[in-house]
Amino acid sequence: MTESKIIYSLRKENLNNYSKTYVPSRLLLGPGPSNAHPEVLKALSLNPIGHLDDAYLELMSDVQELLRYAWQCNNRVSLPMSGTGSAAMEASIANFIEEEETILIAKKGYFGDRLVDMASRYKANVVVIEKEWGEAFSLDEIKFEIEKNKPSIFAIVHAETSTGVLQPLDGIGEICRKNNCLFLVDAVTSLGAVKLLVDDWKIDLAYSCSQKGLSCPPGLSPFTMNNRAEEKLNKRKSKVPNWYLDLSLLNKYWGSDRVYHHTAPVNMNYAIREGLRLIANEGLENIWERHLRNSEKLCNGLIELGLELHVSEEFRLPTLTTVKIPPGVDGDLFRNHLLNEYGIEIGNGLGSLSGKIWRIGLMGYNSTDKNVDRLLNLFDTELKKFSIFRSAAF
């Protein structure tokens, strides 16, 4: 028998290059992730226990009940899926669409495109309606398209992170029920920060993420579905084509049976429990008001500095503000200046808005009066250094 050998090794002179992990301090005021709450980070650092330990199973129940509060629903199936927000987005497609079924997707930004891509991979009949990036759909437009196309699912993004648009949702659920289709909502940038009433608005399926309004690190994606969605899932003619995201299996672990499915990210569930506990303590209505107040202060301050916002006031998203990059300003240079000199991150535009807007996030723990003042002060003092024209507005 030959002796095993290490076939890859570090050069001796490189060994000292690897010190303890270090991450620079950043204030994350971009489209996400946002900074995690200190109490959430404390919970995250607790020692892991087994994912079938009685103590952990009890914590899972807490998470589910707290999620129902955050979602404002009584849905039995309300759970955090293992994976970032895109995991729950894909679960919403994989579990509820079968080949050739029609899904109607209202696209008004980058994440509408992602829904379209996912649905096409599961061989759905994808019908798309579109708005300019920065606009919202009217209820009449949605009603017309649902009655015309008769989809199995109607999907729309509540808070479009790429554009800063908050889509009104009230009334859509009723239209979906009258036309026998499920109402699917992307709430990635709204859960825990913007008014969202799953039961009252008759939302059948919704998903989000952990790293924005919930003030947690990325890694989990809250999901909820009601009885109408459960009924459709139970009547599938074929197996869910994605084993890891199969809700009929996941529900056996998160349901009363507690049957093992996969090794849960235990510490991330510690974190989300703490984040949800903090939300419950502050109260949703207080949180919604805080995010709106800070967003309005930011918007007013940017306008006073002579900057133009991308979205009309009626549809502005309290968690994510999009501001047009002034003519003559290199947007990337300014963003990098804020990051490298002041440790503050803001975002570039996505897709067709790349290089045209900055995206400024005020989400969860980061939505504070102090952070608004700090950012506005830097826009006031630093932006003029990057303007070719040195406009009087700056």
* CATH number assigned to the domain comprising residue 255: 3.40.640.10
Count, residues in the chain: 394
Res 344: pLDDT: 98
152 and 226 assigned to the same domain: yes
Domain CATH number, residue 381: 3.90.1150.10
Do 207 and 322 lie in one domain? The reply is no
Q: Domain count for the chain, please give it.
A: 2
135 in the same domain as 90: yes
303 φ/ψ angles, rounded to the nearest 5 degrees: -65, -40
- Asked whether residue 21 is domain-assigned, the answer is no
User: Per the domain annotation, does 202 fall within a domain?
Assistant: yes
Residue 48 located in a structural domain = yes
Give the pLDDT confidence score for residue 390 in this predicted structure: 42
Q: What is the rounded radius of gyration, in angstroms, for the C-alpha atoms of the chain?
A: 23
With both helix axes pointing from N to C terminus, report the angle between 284-304 and 369-382 in degrees, rounded to the nearest 10: 10
Residues 307 and 355 in one domain: yes
What is the pLDDT at residue 9? Answer: 63
What's the pLDDT at 20?
86
Given a cut of 70, the residues of the chain with pLDDT beneath it are: 1-16, 388-394
254 and 382 in a single domain? The answer is no
Query: What is the model's pTM?
Result: 0.93
* Per-residue pLDDT tens over the stretch 343-379: 999 999 999 999 999 999 999 999 999 999 999 999 9
Domain boundary residue among 261, 281, 301? 281
Whole-angstrom CA distances from 155 to 84, 128, 177, 223 are 19, 10, 14, 15
Both 215 and 274 in one domain: the answer is yes
Q: Are residues 57 and 174 in the same domain?
A: yes
pLDDT value, residue 17: 73
| 252 and 374 share one domain | no
Same domain, 304 and 366: yes
Decide if 235 is inside a domain.
yes
Range of the domain at 218: 38-281
Question: Does residue 209 sit within a domain?
Answer: yes
Q: Report the b/e string of 258-283 with b at 16+ CB within 10 A.
A: beebeebbbbbbbbbbbbbbbbeeee
Show which of 242, 260, 281 is a domain's final residue. 281
Q: How far apart are CA 159 and CA 194, in angstroms?
A: 9
Whether 171 and 261 share a structural domain = yes
pLDDT of residue 98: 94
Residue 154 lies in a domain: yes
Q: Are 185 and 246 part of one and the same domain?
A: yes
Q: Is 14 contained in some domain?
A: no
Cα–Cα distance for residue pair 285/277, rounded to 1 Å: 15
